[in-house]
Structures are given as C-alpha cells and as structure tokens.
Amino acid sequence: MDFSRITVLCVGDVMLDRFVYGEMERISPEAPVPVLLLKERREMPGGAGNVASNIISLGGRAILIGLVGEDEAALTLRDALRLRTGVSEMLVATPKRPTICKTRFIASHQQVVRADEESRLKLQPEEAELLCRAIDARLDEASVVILSDYGKGVCDSMVVRHLIGEARLRGIPVFVDPKTSDFRHYRGATCITPNAKELVAASGISGTDDASVERAARKVMAEAEADAILATRSEKGMMLIPAEGEAEAVPARAREVFDVSGAGDTVIATMALAVGSGMRFAQAMRVANAAAGVVVGKLGTATADIAEVKRELHAEDAPVTSPHLLTLNDAQRQVAGWKSQGLSVGFTNGCFDILHPGHISLLAAARAECDRLIVALNDDASIRRLKGETRPVNMLESRAAVMAAVRYVDAVVAFTEDTPLETILALMPDVLVKGSDYRPEDVIGGREVTASGGRLFLADLQAGHSTTGTIGRIQHRA
C-alpha cells in the first residue's frame, strides 16, 4: 500500500484549528464561569486543511485550494501548511471575510469552550471566479479530487459545478464530504461520504438498520447521479452502496474513543488515496475504516499515518484473542508517532501476574497523568529470577492479553532484563509512573527521565491488594 505517487486536489472550506491548553483553578468572581490559567497554544490546519494533512500523513501529496482573509490567522495558517512537506497551497486571499478560526480551550483533557471566528457572507462572484481559476491552474496535476464542504461558503454552486465538470472531463474521480442536505448540489460526483445524520437529512429516510441505510443511500445517489455512497455510521462502522452491485458493510474497530474530531476528514482522504492508487471501492473502504479507527483514539484534530493504518489493518485480520504485545522497535515508532501528534506518553512497569483492583487503580492513576500509557511487563524468566521458580502464575502471552484489554492501557511491551531501564531509555516517556511505596530516588529510570525533561509520578496504591496475598489465599483454601 503505497500512496506516494498520488496527488489529491483538495478544494473546500479551509480553517485554522487553534487549541489553547490551561489549568482550571477556580470560578471567576465576575460570573459563574471557570478561570483558565493558560499554559500552551497549538495551531494546525483545519477543515479542508486537515484533509490535506491526512493525505500527507498517509504518504500522498496534496494541493489545497480555499479562501482566507487578509489577517494574522491567514499568516499562521500558511506557516502551518509550510511545515507539512508535500502540501502545495493556493489559498485565495479576500478582504471580504476573515480567515475561519476555531479556538478550543482545553483543561484536564476536556474541551471547556470553543470560540469561532468566521463570516456568514455568501461567496461573492469575484471570490468564486478566483477559486475557479486556481482549480484550472492545478487540476491537471491531480490523480483524484476531494471537495470538503463545511458549509462556510467556498462550495457554492458555481465552484462545485465547475470543479466536478472539469474533473469528470479529465476522467479524475471526485470525492465529496457533504454539508448541504440536497445532494443534487454535488451532481456528477464519484463518491459522496455522508455520516448517518447527513444521510437521513438528505434522503428523508430514517432508520439505522442496513436496509434503511441502503434505501436512503440509493435515493440520494440517484438524485446526485453519483457512482457510490459511503455512509459512515459511528460505532456501526461503514456501508458502501455502489450504483452497480450490492452494498457492503464493515464494523467499526472496537476501541476506546477519545475524540471524533476530524474522523470524517481521515475517511475521505484515505478513500481518495486508495481509489486513486487503483483499489476497488470496497477495498478502499476497509482501509478508510482502519484509518478512522486510528484517529478516534487520539485527542484533537488528528491524522493517521500510513504505518498506523497498516498496523490497524493487521490487527483487524488477527484473532481477537491475540495479545497486543509490541516489539521494542515497534514501541519506539509508536511513541514517536504519539509525540509527533503532541501527545504526552506515560510509562509504568511490573509483573502484573494476577491482575487485581490495586493494579487497576495504579493504571487508572497513570493514564490520568498522560495522553497515552505504555505498560512494560517482566518476561517469564525475569519474574522467575525475581519471585522464584513458582512464578509467574500466568505466562507472558496471557499477561499481555489481559493487560492490553484494560481500557487505560494503549500499548504493551516486555523486557527480559532484571529492570526496565533499557526499555525506559529506548522509549524515554514524558511521565514515569510507579506506586507510592517507592521513594523517588529508588525508581529505576527516574533520574534519566527527569534529566530529559520528563517527570516522575508516584501513584497512591489501593490498600489490601497484592498478587502474593491472592496466591496465599488460594493456597490456604486449597
């Protein structure tokens, strides 16, 4: 699966996604609202810009066309796009509207409020003309086209008709992420990708069962004269309804969902790249479903890289009982990927021979201190050296399978040495977690992690629980 030769022309509503992080310390004396002590600000392309970011992350190339204002947000957006190697932007500057900017204020991993800057002014004729000229200038470079409609003005009838008409004349497939409930607006599109709510609004047919979704899709597909509808259905997965042939569905990948922001952008980016590379619609849908499974496990407007998607596809093909035990090299790549997304990585370790409430309490406390948590397990030989020949009770494969099923855990690795120091140095987490029964100076890896800018966290332990005690009670009753 190689998308490096695929160039996608992305046309649509481009915006700046701004995330402001802080700590919620108190309630304001001026009004019953929280006071945030601001700590950090991050900015990235949003809307059609996030579609382009997903294309780059998946290994393709992107040409981005949209509207921006003549303001500071436009400069910030252009700078953010320049950092994404592989994105070529042709943003049309207009004095008639500001750059769309969505600012999210976040405390303790929760969004507190969002502030939007945008104009409700309809697209002006001179703006539409400039957008069409930009499309004509770059369309011949594209293998596939994405129309990303967020309902902010760019995707008006003149621009949409021109884009789809010119693309179809050249035999270039057009994928549409819709906003309007009248899909005739996108007449001639190759594939339209509504979510469940959008499909019901466009078709007037309610119902979440497969038959209702297919009936609704075929109705709007005929009106839009499209080749296919890909209906995204949240926890129910996706359904592909082609104009010719039978509908196919794939279930969502079971996982803890942290944030669905941008999942639709990931789906349409992956579908376009996959079909542009020669895959059939059904095969492309399975790749897109895997990519969506990756991004919903991330915070904020996120992307999926091609390595993550391949791992997800491999995991879907594997038996559900297979333990998620990464090699150290895979874990290093995973940590690097998380950190590139701005996520903090936590680490804890132990035998975890017989999982009990004390372990769960520790893991929950550890996960609260970071965005992603890696657990390193002593392998069987290491435990025997540490605990004696009667241990472990459960072999490494079994312990890893149980640990991977815990909702607070994002990845599991194993180490053969007597201590996890080599693993810690290889992964260099942002937060190293141990129980409060340790003194800071006794925590293996604590000095190295703090010296590199990370921190040590000692979690309170739940009294009355231990593996040794559990084994003792079993032996006594036996």
Q: What is the pLDDT of residue 450?
A: 95
Tell me how long the chain is.
478
**3-state SS assignment for residue 86:** coil
Q: What is the pLDDT of residue 257?
A: 42
- Strand pairing class (248-250; 345-350): unpaired
Residue in 53, 55, 91, 54 with CA at minimum distance from that of residue 74: 91
CB 26 within 8 A of CB 79: no
Whole-angstrom distance, CA of residue 224 vs CA of residue 149: 15
Predicted confidence (pLDDT) at residue 95 exceeds the cutoff of 90: yes
Whole-angstrom distance, CA of residue 354 vs CA of residue 125: 69
Residue 64, Cβ neighbours under 10 Å: how many? 28
pTM of this prediction?
0.67
Region class of 234: left (phi > 0), else alpha (psi between -120 and 50), else beta: left
**Residue 243 carries which DSSP code?**
S
3-state percent helix, strand, coil for the chain, nearest multiple of 5 = 40, 25, 35
Q: What is the pLDDT of residue 402?
A: 92
Residue in 436, 371, 455, 454 with CA at minimum distance from that of residue 409: 371
Whole-angstrom distance, CA of residue 101 vs CA of residue 441: 46
147-204 pLDDT tens trace: 999 999 999 999 999 999 999 999 999 999 999 999 999 999 999 999 989 999 999 9
Residues 6+ apart with CB under 8 A from 380: 392, 395, 396
Q: What is the pLDDT of residue 365?
A: 93
Average pLDDT over residues 77-95: 91
Q: What is the pLDDT of residue 436?
A: 87
377-424 pLDDT tens trace: 999 999 999 888 888 988 998 999 899 889 899 999 999 999 999 999
What are the φ and ψ backbone dihedral angles of 16, each rounded to 5 degrees? -105, 125
Residue 375 pLDDT class (50, 70, 90 cuts): very high
Token pair recorded at residue 277: 């590379």
| Binding-site residue set for ATP | 195-198
Residue 406, Cβ neighbours under 10 Å: how many? 18
Percentage of the chain with pLDDT > 70?
A: 90
> What residue ranges define each of the domains in the chain, with the CATH number in brackets?
7-22+35-317 (3.40.1190.20), 328-477 (3.40.50.620)
| Better-scored residue on pLDDT, 315 or 362 | 362
The CB-side HSE value for 350 (13 A sphere, CA atoms) comes to 19
The H or E element containing residue 12 is: strand 7-12
Any bridge partners for residue 36, and if so which? 24
Q: What is the pLDDT of residue 300?
A: 52
Residue 265 is a catalytic residue = yes
Q: Which of 177, 265, 353, 379 is catalytic?
A: 265
- The end-to-end CA distance of the chain, in Å, is 55
| Better-scored residue on pLDDT, 252 or 228 | 228
Q: What is the pLDDT of residue 356?
A: 87
**3-state SS assignment for residue 349:** strand
32-43 pLDDT tens trace: 888 889 988 989
CB 378 within 8 A of CB 415: yes
Burial 264-298 (b: 16+ CB within 10 A, else e): bbbbbbbbbbbbbbebebeebbbbbbbbbbbbbbb
**Residue 139 carries which DSSP code?**
G
**Residue 181 carries which DSSP code?**
S
| Binding-site residue set | 195-198
Burial 151-177 (b: 16+ CB within 10 A, else e): ebbbbbeebbebbbebbeeeebbbbbb
CB 93 within 8 A of CB 74: yes
- Tell me what the pLDDT averaged over the chain comes to: 88
275-317 pLDDT tens trace: 999 999 999 999 998 888 777 755 555 677 777 777 777 655 5
Residue 475 pLDDT class (50, 70, 90 cuts): low
| Cis-peptide, bond into residue 392, ω within 30° of zero | yes
CA-CA-CA-CA torsion sign (388, 393, 395, 400): negative
Whole-angstrom distance, CA of residue 124 vs CA of residue 101: 20
434-455 pLDDT tens trace: 998 899 999 999 999 999 999 9
Whole-angstrom distance, CA of residue 207 vs CA of residue 197: 10
Predicted confidence (pLDDT) at residue 370 exceeds the cutoff of 50: yes
